[in-house]
Amino acid sequence: MFTKVLIANRGEIACRVIKTCRKMGIATVAVYSDADADALHVEMADEAVRIGPPPSTQSYLQIDRIVQACRDTGALAVHPGYGFLSERGAFAEALADADVTFIGPNMRAIAAMGDKIESKKLAFAAKVTTVPGYVGEIRDEAHARKIAREIGYPVMVKASAGGGGKGLRIVHRKEELAQAIQSSQNEAHASFGDDRLFIEKFVTEPRHIEIQVLGDKHGNVIYLGERECSIQRRHQKVIEEAPSPFLDEKTRRAMGEQAVALAKAVGYDSAGTVEFIVDKDRNFYFLEMNTRLQVEHPVTELITGFDLVELMIRVAAGEKLPIKQSDVKLNGWAIESRIYAEDPYRGFLPSTGRLLRYQPPQEGTRDGITVRNDTGVYEGGEISVFYDPMIAKLCTHAPIRAQAIDAMADALDEFRIDGIRHNIDFLNAIMHSPRFREGRLSTAFIAEEYPNGFHGRPLDDELRRRFVAAALVVKLARTKRAGDISGTLNGRHKGPEELIASIGDWNVSIALATFRHGKLFAEIDGEPYTARSDWTPGNSMVPLREKDGKYTFQLTRLPGCYRLTHGGTTVTVSVRRPEAATLAELMQRKAVNSGSNALLCPMPGLVVSVNVKEGQEVKAGEPLAVVEAMKMENVLTAERDATVKKINAKKGDSLALDDVILEFA
């Protein structure tokens, strides 16, 4: 067994690998760029080596620097994590030349299956059913147009070295093809150093289901069940679960056996994932194979009980798999939510900055429910513009799917992040979606459920009443504390309150409101309401226990009101005496500048291109500029017909949030 392992990655996956190495008694070496000098993975590792400036092309993708770090530290093996160099055969070859073991598949398997074009050729030759498309690299835009015309729109433009949604675009009309090719090439080059593309047919209403395989160097290959990865946005997975709520045992076995056969055809000898598109009739089509550990591997670990990182390390060291196919049992249900630094209320635009507060829910197992949080950040740390926006992967495991979903919703309610925008409300809203809870999924789920963007989980009467109750707890507890302080103007608070609560334009009368000894009573809009809470002033979480369950609200005090977050939405609640509420209605509201006469930069980022000129007339939907942030290109389009008056930014400029890119006449 190796005595020292270098992790050629960053963030949560580097921390994840370090945890397993610690458990196995293996020393660890972290590598870091200048932007990651204070990162969590650097702190956790036994040693750390600087490998370059912040851009990944100058640091985490520099093979020679990582190999030199192995030499300098005496690392005997390298775990690549996912992304970066994890599927680069040249990296595995360079390590072999330096007599360092690559904790991943052999170079032949990487070459055959890690390259999306070559893997399709191999699958086609092996008579594995694949998605219709062109099996080969597109030469130029004219070639791409010919292929798209032959197989019919919509099509997918995909990076051959792609993964994680990088370098992938769905094209519905021929007018979109040129921009899709350019953006896919740029993203692929920035993320993988390889800008080759191919095109295949986009199957409508598909499910994305993948099989986890595991092989050793002695010819043994098994599969560890499937993962449902259909909840995606911009072709990047958002929520994953295992097993799939759609597959029956017959289909699961058929997919697993086909995945194993494909892996054996290339002598696969590590953890890998065979991805399939599955239609409504459970017909499945080979999509690609990822020759690495997947982001979503924790859900497989939770339902099988196996540590995939440990098994990868043992296999790389030459050990036989300690398990055979008959040992694989799927127990319970696991769900993973990817927590990203992005603002779902502003079209999921990336968010960067300092984590002023980072308080994940408590990990561990209680009453048959497990909560796990894989992360690479800490409170006070910085979310950089240079890398993937993932903050954490929150996982829950329970005996049945409904319990795992409920546990996830509760855990998301308890996950507090301040200082940057994040997608926790969005994830929680999905947990409460009837369609998700019923398991009626497809890769179009998010687009279909939120066609006009995400605006928070809709408030029904029950949820609105619960928000009012949480605000009442805070209001009455703070009033009592103020009254108990000797010498205050309020004096000792006595008797029930008559109040008015407001959420947006909704006002409700509250009578007989009291909060004593942890028990809340009030008549809310004429209906009696009771609950218990142990909230005390100063706490940022407001627990509320009703007869049917316990609910947690995140609290932020604002002037004259409270901002509360719960169950997939954030609302502002004011609780006032009737005379104060009347006066508040008379206050003027400040108009918000919509910026309709200018194109504002929606996130901190780098200008890739400005596609228009001063004086040019543009139509609604026409691309105006492209801004890159967190390795993803964002095409900014015109919201209406207009004439460009002035251009304030050029290619290569670094812009802050809301910087003016161009102005309209």
Would you tell me the crossing angle of helices 89-97 and 63-73 to the nearest 10 degrees? 30
Arithmetic mean of pLDDT, 576-600:
72
More confident residue, 23 or 587: 23
Q: Are 274 and 259 in contact (CB under 8 A)?
A: yes
What is the tens place of the pLDDT at every residue in 205-244?
Answer: 799 999 999 999 999 999 999 999 999 998 889 999 999 9
Q: Which two tokens stand for residue 486?
A: 């000797």
What is the tens place of the pLDDT at every residue in 408-458?
Answer: 999 999 999 999 999 999 999 999 999 999 999 999 999 999 998 999 999
584 band by pLDDT with thresholds 50, 70 and 90: confident
pLDDT tops 80 at residue 488: no
Arithmetic mean of pLDDT, 58-75:
98
Instruction: Please name which of 412, 496, 495, 423 lies closest in space to residue 454, comparing C-alpha atoms.
Output: 423
Q: Which two tokens stand for residue 292?
A: 């690495």
What is the tens place of the pLDDT at every residue in 175-199?
Answer: 999 999 999 999 888 888 888 998 9
622 band by pLDDT with thresholds 50, 70 and 90: confident
Beta-sheet pairing, 642-647 with 660-664: antiparallel
Q: Which DSSP category does 494 fall into?
A: -
Handedness of CA 56, 58, 59, 64 (dihedral sign): positive
Q: Are 100 and 74 in contact (CB under 8 A)?
A: no
Residue 142 burial by Cβ neighbours in a 10 Å radius (0-12, 13-18, 19+)? exposed
Arithmetic mean of pLDDT, 611-638:
86
pLDDT tops 50 at residue 656: yes
What is the tens place of the pLDDT at every residue in 465-474?
Answer: 999 999 999 9
SS3 for 131? coil
Instruction: Give the chain's domains with CATH numbers.
Output: 4-103 (3.40.50.20), 117-124+207-331 (3.30.470.20), 132-201 (3.30.1490.20), 335-457 (3.30.470.20), 461-585 (3.30.700.30), 598-664 (2.40.50.100)
CA distance 275 to 355: 35
Phi-psi region of 479 (alpha: psi -120 to 50; beta: other; left: phi over 0): alpha
Instruction: Please name which of 73, 81, 6 lies closest in space to residue 390, comparing C-alpha atoms.
Output: 81
Q: What is the pLDDT of residue 194?
A: 87
Q: What is the pLDDT of residue 494?
A: 58
Q: What percent of the chain has pLDDT over 90?
A: 73
Three-state SS sequence of 356-392:
CEEECCCCEEECCEEEEEEECCCCCCEECCCCCCEEE
More confident residue, 310 or 483: 310
Arithmetic mean of pLDDT, 305-309:
98
Q: What is the pLDDT of residue 496?
A: 80
Arithmetic mean of pLDDT, 336-347:
94
CA distance 158 to 199: 6
Arithmetic mean of pLDDT, 618-644:
84
Q: What is the pLDDT of residue 486?
A: 61
The amino acid that residue 25 corresponds to is G
Q: H-helix or E-strand containing 410?
A: helix 401-413
Q: What is the pLDDT of residue 271?
A: 97
pLDDT tops 80 at residue 18: yes
Q: Which two tokens stand for residue 505?
A: 């334009």
Q: What is the pLDDT of residue 151?
A: 86
Q: What percent of the chain has pLDDT over 70?
A: 97
What is the tens place of the pLDDT at every residue in 382-416?
Answer: 998 888 889 999 999 999 999 999 999 999 999 99
Instruction: Please name which of 80, 21, 42 lies closest in space to residue 382, comparing C-alpha atoms.
Output: 42
Task: Verify cis geometry, omega within 30 degrees of 0, for the bond prior to 434.
Answer: no
Q: What is the pLDDT of residue 283?
A: 87
What is the tens place of the pLDDT at every residue in 116-170?
Answer: 777 888 888 777 778 777 777 888 899 999 999 988 898 989 888 877 678 899 9
Residue 486, φ and ψ in degrees, nearest 5:
-60, 135
What is the tens place of the pLDDT at every residue in 249-306?
Answer: 999 999 999 999 999 989 999 999 999 999 888 989 898 899 999 999 999 999 999 9
Q: What is the pLDDT of residue 118?
A: 79
Lowest average pLDDT, out of 203-217, 279-293, 343-357, 477-491, goes to 477-491
Residue 339, φ and ψ in degrees, nearest 5:
-95, 115
pLDDT tops 70 at residue 489: no
Residue 353, φ and ψ in degrees, nearest 5:
140, -165
More confident residue, 294 or 634: 294
347 band by pLDDT with thresholds 50, 70 and 90: confident
CA distance 76 to 102: 9
Residue 208, φ and ψ in degrees, nearest 5:
-105, 105
> What are the E-state strand segments in 147-206?
155-163, 166-171, 197-201
Handedness of CA 377, 383, 387, 388 (dihedral sign): positive
Phi-psi region of 253 (alpha: psi -120 to 50; beta: other; left: phi over 0): alpha
The amino acid that residue 110 corresponds to is I
Active-site residues, by number, are 288
Q: What burial letters (b/e) apply to 378-391, b meaning 16+ CB within 10 Å?
A: eeebbbbbbbbbbb
DSSP per-residue letters across 559-618: TTEEEEEETTEEEEEEEE-HHHHHHHHTSPPPPP---TTEEE-SSSEEEEEE---TT-EE
593 band by pLDDT with thresholds 50, 70 and 90: very low
Q: Among 459-473, 475-489, 604-618, name the most confident range.
A: 459-473
Q: Which two tokens stand for residue 353?
A: 């900055």
Q: What is the pLDDT of residue 592?
A: 45
Residue tagged 């369950």 (tokens): 549
Q: Are 152 and 201 in contact (CB under 8 A)?
A: yes
Q: What is the pLDDT of residue 66?
A: 98
Q: Are 133 and 144 in contact (CB under 8 A)?
A: no
- Mean pLDDT for the chain overall: 91
